[in-house]
Amino acid sequence: MNSNGVVEWAVVESDIGPLLLAATDVGLVSVVFHARPEVREKAVGRLRSRLGAELVESPGSARLTEPIRRLAAYFAGSLREFSLDLDWSLTSGFNRQVLRELATGVPYGAVVGYGDLAERVGQPGAAQAVGAAMGSNPLPVVVPCHRVVESGGGLGGFGGGLETKRKLLALEGVLPQPLF
């Protein structure tokens, strides 16, 4: 739980649409895709109940300065590693283990299969559980669940939608840029 009980959040524009970023005094705690007003309201409500904290919209927040700057650099193609302080309190157990491995072990421009990722955390055969962990990732883009794909070459699922996953993989050079 946050010692000061306040989570600051802001919405920023990106190449994949508006993103809601939220940070605690520990670090970035949440990234939410497609943060249009109705999505925003739900996300803020969910964060308030899950973190037991007050949420304050704070676009000028010092806590959000670096995450915002680094996301802009990432979308501009000049940043390959986020190296941000992250607050992992929205995930635990197996999911947290898998997401941490993904954050540190699957670099920009690389992809990993669900089954491979399960093996890396010592749970061979847990590919479906890895899929569920990706689906519940509280820090997409920064913790790159878009880099997890099906072993047969399929894109797999994605909380932000497959179009968003395609755009992120194209940005990283894994997929060709769409022609239009």
Active site amino acids: 145
Give dist(CA 13, CA 161) in Å, integer.
Answer: 17
Strands 19-23 and 6-12: antiparallel
Give dist(CA 147, CA 107) in Å, integer.
Answer: 9
- CA-wise closest residue to 86 among 103, 65, 74: 103
- CA-wise closest residue to 96 among 156, 43, 139: 139
Give dist(CA 150, CA 5) in Å, integer.
Answer: 39
Q: Which amino acid is at 126?
A: A
Half-sphere exposure of 162 (CA within 13 A, CB side): 6
58: three-class secondary structure by DSSP: coil
Q: Please, is 116 exposed, middle or buried when counting C-beta atoms within 10 Å of its C-beta (0-12, 13-18, 19+)? A: middle
